[in-house]
Structure 1
Amino acid sequence: MDHHQIKHHSTPTYQPQTAKSKEPDSSSSFSLFQGNPLTKFLLIVIIVLSVMLFLSHTDQNDLKKENALLSTQNQGLQKLMHDKDTLITEKEKTITGLEKEKLDMLSILDDEKKSRNIAERETQLTKLSIEDAQLQVQSSDLETQQRQQELSLEKQKNEELNVLITSMKNNTEVLKQRVTDLNEQLNQCILSS
């Protein structure tokens, strides 16, 4: 009986104390926030700065992703140019072989000028000359196309990098100006208060 009565008396005496202790804290803090415009202004400034920093961090992440994508594309283009260089080298080897064959044919023609197959050999030489000219034209076209693509890709890469750099500079300047404006407003508010 005594123990039951002690528990019964201790419980209600503990609960009202916690309730009474909580009510003044919440009401006083609420009234302090409502009644102090400087605190409210500082809270708004902190929220705005946090949002601005978050947006700036998001923009920087996007720029990093775009830069990584451009780097990947650049690697692919370098591989493509390497493959074209290999193809041009193979064409040059073929042209060199044809030129050697042409020289051999000329040597044979010089040795057999009086033979009956001079006309046939001249025809073969003409055919080889035509093939040689065609291969040289193809090689020249490949070199021209490769140079044009290199210039176009370099120009595009430079333009994209310039746009990214300009965007990052603009974002940085805007953030600096916003922070400066907010600091001035905060100083004016503190001085006026």
Structure 2
Amino acid sequence: MITMKDIVRESHPSLTRSAAVVEVPLSKDDKQLLEDMMQFLKNSQDEEIAEKYELRAGVGIAAPQLGIEKQIIAIHFEDIDGKLYSMGLVNPKIISHSVEQSYLSSGEGCLSVDRPVEGYVPRHARITIKATDINDQPVKLRLKGYPAIVFQHEIDHINGIMFFDRINTEDPFNIPENSSPIQ
């Protein structure tokens, strides 16, 4: 079971390097890693389990956050309309995106960052992703709003980019041009 002790923190080198492409079909180990990552997210959102094991709630996690430099991400959350996004993906790539931007009005957080980081993180308002799922099937997703932000955050991890790298250092609360806030 993955716990907070398994998650590397922001000074760890795996968080600043591009992760390796994962071979498909997936190995048993890669499938198990994806399943473990999904279970961590579910556990982190279960109040009883989270309290018992001192887990911080997360909606996404990437293998580099476990010190594993592979292009593997897991996502588990419901959007404001109640649509469940629950999947493990390998080799996710943003293949197209909008010019329009968005940002979380409350800012972003990260399981690998133990401190509050203030500021807006500019993201594409709409993205299209291609990836491979845990069953070796190709996946194409069109996302907007909060789901688009979550996926971009995790894809950044496999590219060695932390969310705070995107915050305007001169003016952290500068509203990104051509953007709209996501509550």
Give the TM-score normalised by the residue count of structure 1.
0.18
More helix by share: 1
Query: Bigger radius of gyration, 1 or 2?
Result: 1
More strand by share: 2
